[in-house]
Structure 1
Amino acid sequence: MRRTIDDDKPAAANYHAHALARGLALLERLAKAKHPVTLGELNDETGLPKSTLVRLLAVLTETGYVVRVDERPSFRLGHKVLDLSTAYVSTLDASAAARGYLAALAATTGQTANLGVLDGTQVLHLRVEEPDRPIRYTAMSGSRADAHATGLGKLLLAGLAPDALARHLPEEPYEAMTGSTLTTFAELRADLELTRERGYAYDDNESNIGLRCLAVPLKIDGRWVASVSVSGPAGELDPDRHGGYVAELHATAAEMAADPDLAAALRVIHRSLSSTEGSHT
């Protein structure tokens, strides 16, 4: 049998809530469309009688959530939807939303967990969670670091298209934080190619002596919008142990990307800080 809009209604929708569930479902259908949707198209897509659709659309139009644009008739979303969207975005806090995921990662790995985004030539640490142990890497949420010398930064640089990379790098030679810091474009480019091939970045004593970092991408809509990392004593993050750490990082990144509030917050931050048109998918 043909599915109708009612097949997708919430389980809690009783007789009195039926109209509300149908109205919200209509808004979702209009939100997915790239152009105004006709009454006939809505009838075909939802399976609802035209008489029912006319009543629902009349209420949504009167309240400003839907606009009738012509005599076919066809409809699009109205300004009231933007008010709701703006109010939702204003309540988002990526740092708070990420806290639980990073705290669990820090507890599981015993290393400091970090969520970062690319801001110019630097990485902005949106949230840092440290493990409960005496010896650990210490960093502050809201702090910054040069992208070329950190695992988080190199991961995010690796996600850029070649023509966008130069905008996120300082002039050569890059500042050397340690004797292991990559200070030329040729060195960094080779490292970024390796990062893309293996799917994670590796900071090997490049930002601080005795500190190593592993970072993976946090992908939203196929884009590398942020990076998740673990950092700790160099002896504990040697190459022989990368597999276990990277698996935990990928699992955490996937959980974070699946969180609708966190994903929405990261989209907003990514759009505000950097161009997405040249990023890899």
Structure 2
Amino acid sequence: MPRTAKVAPRVSVDDAKSASANYHAHALTRGLALLELLADGPQPLTLIDFHARTGLPKSTLVRLLSVLTDAEYVVRVDERPAFRLGHKVLRLSTAYVSSLDLTVAAGPYLRQLAVASGYTANLGLLDGSQVLHVCVEEPPRPIRFMAYTGSRDDTYCTALGKALMAALPASALPAHLPAAEPYSRRTDSTITTHDEMRRELARTARRGYAYDDNEGSVGVRCLAVPVVVDGETVAAVSVSGPAAELSPDRHEPFVDQLHASAAKLAADVDVVAALRIVHRSLLPTRGGTNTP
């Protein structure tokens, strides 16, 4: 006797909701779930699509979609019927975006890192051949590396720059490095050629973190790791401090702290949204754009 394929049971949109929710809260939760389905795309979705994805009765869906349509959060586009998002959703998303402040969103994670490590914590983005410091927190100690939110530094002599460039294809690197060789030598340890930098970025990618060994300033060392969201590097986070305290044999605990902080930043939807907004505000590079 032929075996029939097992069909996974349909999960109702109500299954994850509290049974104690009152009627109006229940209806609101269901309506928001329909908006989330439309936001996940592709649009438009038909009544049959909503029924298949939520498990809600069609009569309930008709009532919910009617309310959302009357309120202009949803637009009916044909007689199937099918629906897409309405203009009121844009008003909400615009208000959300305008309320985001990257220093407020990312600051607590950077402060935690600065206190735990004892070093200056820095969140950076690529901006052409420079790194833009979008959030900086200093540790509570008298001797510390000084940096400022909104300041910039060269990519080629910073751990942040290396961590960000190590994720790029080779064809994209010229847009983020000095146009002419040798690069300006900041210290005796500064990397000054394309070939040397490519080798350094390969080492960075293999070990999973970047290292600035007195390359930007004598007496200062820095470690950095990428902040990765859905396989894409959207920023990098670093700690910087006295060279004597960040020797290679002492890297492991600080790299662990950096990876933990990067994971927290990547998991915070407000931080990621704010980072993408800042990316879009940056000028195009010589070889393309900075938008992730």
TM-score (norm 1): 0.94
CA distance in 2, matches of 1:272, 1:258: 22
1:6 Cα deviation after fit: 1.0
Q: For residue 6 of structure 2, what is the aligned residue in structure 1?
A: none
% identity of equivalent residues: 62
Within the candidate set 265, 272, 275, 2:274 is matched to 265
Q: What is the RMSD computed on CA atoms of the aligned residues?
A: 1.6
In the TM superposition, 1:16-27 aligns within 5 A as 16-27=24-35
**Residues 191-249 of structure 1: CA deviation (Å, up to 9, x unaligned):** 11111111110000000001100000011222111010000011111111111110000
Corresponding position: 1:197 with 2:182: no
Q: Give 1:176's aligned amino acid.
A: R
CA distance in 2, matches of 1:162, 1:14: 57
Whether the 8 Å CA contact 2:127–2:290 is kept in 1: the answer is no
Q: Give 1:256's aligned amino acid.
A: L
CA distance in 1, matches of 2:74, 2:152: 43
Whether the 8 Å CA contact 1:220–1:267 is kept in 2: the answer is no
**Residues 75-95 of structure 1: CA deviation (Å, up to 9, x unaligned):** 111111111111101111111
CA distance in 2, matches of 1:34, 1:249: 37
Whether the 8 Å CA contact 1:128–1:140 is kept in 2: the answer is yes
Q: For residue 156 of structure 1, what is the aligned residue in structure 2?
A: 164
Q: For residue 53 of structure 2, what is the aligned residue in structure 1?
A: 45
User: How many residues of Structure 1 are paired with residues of Structure 2 in the alignment?
Assistant: 278
Q: For residue 35 of structure 1, what is the aligned residue in structure 2?
A: 43
TM-score (norm 2): 0.91
**Greater mean alpha carbon deviation, residues 144-153 or residues 267-276:** 267-276
Q: For residue 231 of structure 2, what is the aligned residue in structure 1?
A: 222
CA distance in 1, matches of 2:169, 2:290: 10
CA distance in 1, matches of 2:170, 2:78: 45
Within the candidate set 248, 258, 261, 1:249 is matched to 258
Q: Give 1:158's aligned amino acid.
A: A
Q: Give 1:212's aligned amino acid.
A: R
Structure 2: give runs of 5+ residues left out of the alignment: 1-8
Q: For residue 102 of structure 2, what is the aligned residue in structure 1?
A: 94
1:270 Cα deviation after fit: 2.6
**Greater mean alpha carbon deviation, residues 1-10 or residues 235-244:** 1-10
Q: For residue 3 of structure 2, what is the aligned residue in structure 1?
A: none
Structure 1: give runs of 5+ residues left out of the alignment: none
1:185 Cα deviation after fit: 0.3
